[in-house]
């Protein structure tokens, strides 16, 4: 074979390999970004991409706009040009109450009965219900199966041309698989998952840039970059929820399915991600059940949604119902209570925690957010205030998701007044506001702390409340209000003083009965509850002492290892490090706690008050969960969290409060939240209560 023939063969082989690489890479993009089911490692993906880039470098005339290598971004734009939408992009009407949904269904039903599309007495209108993504609406135009244009919604009639930026999204097919029509416009939402948003903000902070306020703002800002190379670095995803113009080769309109749900399945066949939470519903009652179900699981979703959308499923019925102004009559958005609102930051107060931590708390002009009226929100710590550049007098964004403590997300800089004040904790609070002790910020820590210890009334109150809590000594009837009264009156200063209230001659009971809202019966019940806790499990007492870094699991491990409070008090750091899962930080914290004379006095006073901690008893027999770590989340059908924990511990397992790759199982019940989402993200096995019982009985 001559040289020319050999070159031709090599060129043909290169062309075949290039086509195969493009097809493989796009398939892997779909599995990773659309189906959330990657089939190769990142390193393998990078090798495929490098091979494709090398081939295109050798054959530059083979580079096409729809090649996976072109997703890195083109040259910066001077401005966004305007795009006229072939089919108007519509908005949706909103429903905020159940009555709005019922009225919507009644209007739909009456119109369809009148038109003959729905018979009287039939079991309700057929709808499809979907998530309402909290992102940016865009439209993609494909001609002959190739992406040729992308645009924002704009005013519905025309939007901005963002084609170069949308090409960088790996969840957007550059070329459609299968038998695509001559023209296809796909409508959908660009968004960012919470995990991707967190990683992006961490990178922003590491570079010294300001973090984004929320995933929606991050997605919108990323998509409207004039430099597509910036967009290419942002973890954006596209979810299709509708369509615009669809034409065949002759220019005639095409309708591949008779239903909205069928059309979504058709779009999914071309490689688009569609709403994974969509469901068929008949009638208003079914729509409201869908709303409640999605609302309960909203916090565990990987992305933000601000409601659900109901659409009449039959396209023929949609055509009959038509449109009003800029919204269709056949669809409505049922919004969740707002999780973010803006309000004015009136001031910043300082709260003192159990370990002396000083936490800045925003005092807000009251605002209704997440279903409740919020007047205070956490600012976390001094570094967070500086990072977010929050100032007293600012208009700020406040977020509340579910039962999560409200937090200040950041300021609205455009509304910042000229007299906005910078907050400096060390300047505002050189001493603890509760006791006047000096405050300090240990090197390497983000938290400023009061040095007063038990001398500080705030720490004393928090310590006693913690000691009496259900997971510690579990003293029923000893609430935070009574503790506040006991400390403020000077009657109780230490944990041992609580036990002194249960004196044998009844003076403590009589004294308690004089406190507001107590009475003789409540005082008697409380004294009896204190007496019943004179022989607590050693682990509960250790946890009740409130030692920094010592949680329930660590207290249990240490108690089992040493067997007595005296042995723990006298243990060196080296001895403490012999306890499984106890590291240098925890060991140093325990040693430092018992090195303080006043803490050892508390133990001596407890002993004098008749408190006898009981050594941990490790049940004998087989341990089906030996060496396994489990995480509990949500509400189990029959077991309380404490009961499930005791069963797991008795079976040799451990219970952790957070999910990691070392977690063996996550036991999920009703209303499981972020821990379930983390388990799914890490691929940790998830079981229910029945699965837990099966493990325990194995």
Given a contact cutoff of 8 angstroms between Cβ atoms, the answer to whether 183 and 246 are in contact is: yes
CA distance 68 to 53: 9
Which of 586, 527, 591, 584 lies closest to 555, judged by CA? 586
Q: Which pair of structure tokens corresponds to residue 61?
A: 């005339």
CA distance 195 to 415: 30
Strand partners, 450: 439
Given a contact cutoff of 8 angstroms between Cβ atoms, the answer to whether 90 and 156 are in contact is: yes
The 3-state DSSP class for residue 460 equals helix
Stretch (H or E) spanning 555: helix 552-562
Chain-centroid distance of CA 318 in Å reads: 36
Which residue out of 132, 311, 335, 654 is catalytically annotated? Answer: 132
Q: What's 93-141 look like in SS3? A: CEECCHHHHHHHHHHHHHHHHHHCCCCCCCCCCEEEEEEEECCEEEEEE
Sheet strand arrangement including 305-312: 94-95, 331-335, 305-312, 126-133, 279-282
CA distance 516 to 442: 40
Cβ partners under 8 Å of residue 78, min gap 6: 226
Active site residue 132: yes
CA distance 341 to 643: 39
* H helices present in 30-97, as ranges: 42-58
Q: Which pair of structure tokens corresponds to residue 665?
A: 């199982």
Provide the total of helices (H) and of strands (E) in the chain, helices listed first. 26, 27
CA distance 79 to 98: 44
CA distance 613 to 330: 67
Which phi-psi region, left, alpha or beta, contains residue 371 (left: φ > 0; alpha: ψ -120 to 50)?
Answer: left
- Residues annotated catalytic, as ranges: 132
């Amino acid at each position: 074979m001559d040289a020319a023939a050999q070159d031709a063969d090599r060129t043909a082989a290169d062309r075949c390999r290039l086509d195969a690489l493009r097809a493989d890479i796009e398939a892997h993009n779909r599995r990773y970004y659309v189906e959330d089911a990657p089939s190769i490692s990142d390193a393998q993906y990078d090798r495929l991409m490098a091979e494709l880039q090398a081939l295109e470098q050798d054959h530059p005339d083979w580079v096409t706009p729809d090649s996976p290598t072109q997703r890195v971004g083109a040259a910066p734009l001077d401005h966004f040009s305007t795009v006229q939408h072939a089919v108007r992009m519509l908005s949706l009407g909103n429903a905020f109450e159940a009555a709005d949904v019922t009225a919507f269904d009644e209007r739909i039903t009456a119109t369809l009965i009148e038109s003959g599309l729905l018979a009287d007495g039939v079991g309700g209108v057929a709808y499809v219900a979907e998530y309402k993504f909290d992102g940016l609406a865009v439209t993609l135009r494909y001609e002959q199966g190739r992406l040729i244009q992308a645009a924002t919604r704009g005013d519905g009639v025309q939007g901005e041309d963002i084609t170069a930026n949308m090409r960088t999204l790996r969840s957007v097919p550059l070329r459609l698989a299968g038998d695509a029509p001559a023209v296809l416009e796909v409508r959908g939402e660009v968004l960012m998952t919470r995990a991707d948003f967190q990683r992006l903000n961490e990178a922003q902070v590491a570079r010294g840039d300001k973090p984004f306020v929320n995933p929606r703002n991050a997605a919108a800002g990323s998509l409207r970059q004039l430099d597509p190379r910036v967009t290419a670095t942002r973890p954006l995803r596209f979810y299709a929820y509708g369509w615009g113009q669809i034409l065949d080769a002759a220019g005639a309109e095409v309708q591949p399915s008779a239903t909205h749900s069928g059309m979504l399945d058709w779009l999914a066949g071309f490689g688009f991600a569609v709403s994974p939470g969509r469901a068929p519903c008949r009638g208003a009652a079914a729509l409201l059940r869908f709303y409640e179900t999605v609302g309960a699981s909203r916090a565990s979703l990987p992305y933000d949604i601000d409601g659900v959308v109901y659409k009449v499923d039959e396209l023929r019925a949609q055509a009959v119902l038509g449109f009003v102004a800029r919204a269709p009559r056949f669809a409505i958005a049922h919004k969740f209570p707002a999780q973010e609102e803006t309000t004015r930051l009136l001031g910043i107060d300082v709260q003192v925690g159990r370990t002396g931590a000083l936490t800045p708390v925003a005092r807000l002009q009251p605002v209704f957010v997440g279903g409740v009226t919020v007047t205070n929100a956490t600012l976390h710590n001094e570094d967070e205030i500086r990072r977010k550049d929050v100032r007293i007098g600012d208009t700020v964004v406040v977020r509340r998701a579910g039962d999560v403590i409200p937090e200040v997300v950041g300021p609205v800089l455009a509304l910042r007044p000229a007299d906005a004040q910078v907050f400096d904790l060390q300047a505002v609070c050189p001493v603890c506001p509760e006791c006047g002790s000096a405050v300090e910020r240990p090197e390497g820590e983000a938290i400023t702390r009061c040095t007063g210890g038990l001398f500080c009334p705030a720490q004393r109150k928090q310590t006693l409340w913690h000691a009496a809590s259900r997971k510690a000594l579990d003293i029923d009837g000893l609430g935070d209000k009574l503790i506040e009264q006991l400390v403020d009156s000077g009657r109780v200063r230490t944990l041992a003083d609580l036990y002194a209230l249960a004196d044998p001659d009844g003076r403590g009971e009589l004294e308690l009965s004089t406190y507001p809202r107590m009475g003789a019966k409540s005082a008697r019940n409380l004294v009896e509850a204190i007496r019943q806790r004179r022989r607590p499990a050693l682990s509960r007492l250790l946890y009740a002492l409130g030692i920094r870094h010592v949680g329930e699991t660590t207290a249990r491990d240490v108690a089992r290892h040493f067997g007595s409070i005296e042995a723990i008090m006298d243990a060196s750091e080296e001895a403490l490090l012999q306890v499984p899962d106890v590291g240098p930080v925890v060991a140093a914290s325990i040693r430092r706690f018992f090195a303080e004379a006043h803490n050892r006095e508390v133990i001596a006073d407890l002993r004098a008050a008749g408190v006898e901690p009981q050594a941990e008893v490790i049940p004998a027999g087989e341990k089906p969960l030996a060496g396994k770590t489990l995480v509990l989340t949500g509400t189990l059908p029959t077991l309380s969290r404490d009961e499930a924990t005791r069963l797991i511990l008795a079976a040799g397992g451990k219970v952790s409060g957070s999910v990691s790759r070392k977690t063996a199982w996550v036991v999920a019940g009703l209303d499981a939240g972020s821990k379930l989402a983390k388990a799914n993200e890490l691929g940790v096995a998830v079981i229910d209560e029945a699965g837990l019982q099966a493990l325990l009985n194995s």
